[in-house]
Amino acid sequence: MSIGTNTIRVDGCAKLTGAAMYVDDLTLPGMLHGATIRTPIARGRIKKIHFDPAINWSEFVVVDHRDIPGGNAVALIERDQPALVASEFRHKHEAVLLIANASVHKLRDAVRAIRLEVEPLPAILDARATARPEQIQHGADNVLKRLTIHKGDPGAVFASAPHVIEGTYHTGAQEHVYLETQGMLAHRENGRMVVRGSMQCPYYVLDSLTHAFGWPREAFSVVQAAVGGGFGGKEDYPSNIAIHAALLAEKAGAPVKLVYDRQEDMAATTKRHPSWVRHRTAVDKDGRLLAMEIEVMLDGGAYVTLSPVVLSRGCIHSSGPYFCEHIHIHGEARLTNSMPYGAFRGFGAPQTIFAMERHMDVIGSRIGVDPVELRRRNFLRDGQTMATGQIYRDGTDLVALMDRTLREADYHAKRKSHASFNATHPYLRRGIGIASFHHGSGFTGGGETKLASEVWVEGMPDGSVEVQTAQTDMGQGTSTILAQVAADALEMSPGGVLVATPDTARVPNSGPTVASRTAMVVGKLTHRAAEDLSKQLGGVRGPSITGAIRAWHAANPGKNLVGRAKYEKPATIVWNDATYQGDAYASYSWATYVAEVEVDLRTYATRVTDFVAAQEVGRVLNPTLARGQVQGGVVQGIGWAIYEDVVLEDGAMKNCQMTNYIIPASADLPPIRVFFEETPSPYGPGGAKGIGEMPIDGPAPAVVNAISAAVGMSIDAIPVTPERLMERLDGAHG
């Protein structure tokens, strides 16, 4: 069995030795370097572009919106975002011009020698504000997406409930800080425009290229280079930079590489959506949830990008892993003249789970019920329904999962010791906090059916097996996992399985590498495609399959031996996109996290001193990779909770340098102890569910619940920087 073992990473050797080629490592004969000229204010109209006559502009390739042969838009959910600004623009740092030159030094001088003369237009920079008529830029009211989820009759319950508790919770934006910045290299090869670079979703990029150029899909080859991290930041934005590189290459008649430095990347690219979530909850005298009203508001930024799916997931997860018979959820994503907000690990769920898990602690405090006991009384049990009416039949014991986390964290003993410590220490305060949560695997509702993903597993003439998908490895181990799954299906060594480089000219569209869908959805397709390959060989598996593949090719020269699988919706999954009713996800993963903190009342700095993460993920395919995914997500969640503060000025990130955007370093982090439970799902290979998104959901509420316990005050917004904590505590004390 390959599944469940710590097989060696497929890409490990290349990355260890430096052989892996990232986009900025790539060079081609005659290659030019590209750069982008951007808008200087939040909203306005281009009046004139000034080129300094001191520069010899004949040495440069210059591209503007008139050079776009097809549609001037980035093709995503909506086509509202221009590839290059023609006249009006909606945010600072929006792309207007592209220039290229063989010399990086000349290119930098030229960027400084171009000045945009603009006419300011009325900008809206606060998503909570009602837009004036002159600020409306999308629809009738600047709402990019709104939705409602309704269950039961909450209004009737509130009138007679013993307790009604309200709270509003705010989360800030977050920068992805992937190790490798955005970059693309475009060039002509064998009659195709080849675009190679750092991306999560090659077919998304292909769709945008075909729209912008007006050419058929066959005119392009979109190829993933080695990627140094994505976290959602390389889901949608690579389409922008791919269009730009390809436009420059086409006009120049030469290869063009366009790679952002860190400051440009942080200034121009998408971030996690800021959120405001309001809860109004009716509970009985024992703390059982009777009714919930939840309002979710997201700042969507200047264009739609992926805000609809972020809002959708956020709303569906907003009521937590709890049973409540009466629920009303309303969500809106609103336009502002900030940089567009886009996908970021967890996309929507971290925001609403933060609010739900903070609110659970607030409820417990208000009615005098221990936060652990409150969760225990309200966890979903088999046969109960979730907010969308989906029946909980997972089989996971959420109480047992929480109890294990509490034991591993020594939760109850530490709460007692913290009370003694806090009563005697002059300036240090300690606290421990809990968060329980869930995360749906795969696309929401009918999304997987619409994608109609496909996977091929090909037997090669030398007897090896190649998995062919559009799934990208960004360091999370996709290639290793898919090789393990194929090897398991064929009962062969993973060393005999290759994973093809994602290239739209030779691999099928297996959907984007997002939404914790790779292991469960694409992994299951890989398993089925491998079984189909075996079937074509008469059911041969195991060590003899290599010889069987060679024999097949000897008997069928020039032909391809390919096992195929295409997504088929399970008959048990029913979803209504119009009403948001039914089975939102085929499977959910479940978790409880516990964080321990120490707050210094002299500096107002918070240090996380211990962290325990226990999760149920169906089946662990590769224990080392799975543990790394959880630990990495916890680190990002701790950063979002207490360190990472996106400071906006004129709708743009003011602190777009690593010197003043603070992320946690190794010395800032506690031991992160990771534990797994396994309740196999029928929808994933070997029973696997999703894992990659979930670890970002729980750290922030666990940490902030711990801070609130330490300082004896409810904290309702993140990041809890020392400055904000000082303001909160000093304000409370007069």
Q: Model-level pTM greater than 0.95?
A: yes
Query: Alpha-carbon distance 514 to 516, whole Å?
Result: 6
| 195 vs 184: CA distance, rounded Å | 7
CA–CA gap between residue 172 and residue 627 (Å, rounded): 27
Say what percent of the chain tops pLDDT 70. Answer: 100
Asked if residue 31 lies in contact with residue 255, where contact means CB atoms within 8 angstroms, the answer is yes
Q: How many whole angstroms separate alpha carbon 690 and alpha carbon 439?
A: 8
Q: How far is CA 201 from CA 224, 351, 392, 664, 717, in A?
A: 9, 24, 32, 28, 33
Asked if the model's pLDDT at residue 581 lies above 60, the reply is: yes
pLDDT at 732 over 90: no
Convert 116-163 into a string of H (helix), E (strand) and C (coil).
EEEEECCCCCCCCCCCCHHHCCCCCCCEEEEEEEEECCHHHHHCCCCE
How far apart (Å, rounded) are the C-alpha atoms in residues 499 and 523? 13
Helix H segments across 2-128? Answer: 12-17, 104-112
What is each CA distance from 123 to 138, 304, 335, 336, in whole angstroms? 13, 17, 10, 8
Task: Give the residue from 204, 124, 214, 612 showing the smallest Cα distance to 406.
Answer: 612
The CA distance from 201 to 223, in Å, is 10
Contacts for 262 with CB less than 8 Å, ≥ 6 apart: 181, 657, 658
Is the C-alpha dihedral spanning 682, 683, 687, 690 positive or negative? negative
DSSP string, 255-311: -EEEE--HHHHHHHS--PPPEEEEEEEEE-TT--EEEEEEEEEEEEESS-TTHHHHH
Residue 468 has pLDDT above 60, yes or no: yes
| Residue 366 tokens, joined | 């208000």
CA-CA distance, 261 to 663, in Å (whole number)? 18
Does the domain formed by 447-566 have CATH 1.20.1300.10?
A: no
Q: What is the pLDDT of residue 341?
A: 98
Nearest to 321 by CA among 588, 579, 520: 588
Give the residue carrying structure tokens 């269009």: 243
Q: Quick one: which H or E segment has residue 208? A: helix 202-213
Pick the CATH number of 275-444+580-732 from 1.20.1740.10, 3.40.50.700, 3.30.365.10, 1.25.10.10: 3.30.365.10
Q: Mean pLDDT across the stretch 340-347?
A: 97
**230-253 pLDDT tens trace:** 999 999 999 999 999 999 999 999
Backbone angle region of 570, left / alpha / beta, with phi > 0 → left and psi within -120 to 50 → alpha: beta
- The residue count for the chain: 734
CATH annotation of 23-121+182-259: 3.90.1170.50
734 has a pLDDT exceeding 60: no
User: Do the first three CATH levels of 23-121+182-259 and 447-566 match, i.e. the same topology?
Assistant: no
Nearest CA to 505 out of 202, 250, 197 is that of 202
- pLDDT band of residue 357 (cuts 50, 70, 90) is very high
**3-state SS, residue 205:** helix
CA atoms within a 13 Å half-sphere pointing along the CA-CB vector of 365? 15
According to the model, what pLDDT value does residue 384 have? 98
* Residue 733 binned pLDDT confidence (cut-offs 50, 70, 90): low
What's the pLDDT at 1?
77
Q: How large is the average pLDDT for residues 218-233?
A: 98
Q: Are 449 and 483 in contact (CB under 8 A)?
A: no
Does residue 664 carry a pLDDT above 70? yes
Domain range annotation of the chain: 23-121+182-259, 275-444+580-732, 447-566
Given a cut of 70, is residue 299 above it in pLDDT? yes
Q: Please report, rounded to a whole number, the percentage of residues in the chain having pLDDT higher than 90.
A: 98
Look over the chain and give the mean of its residue pLDDT values, rounded to a whole number.
97
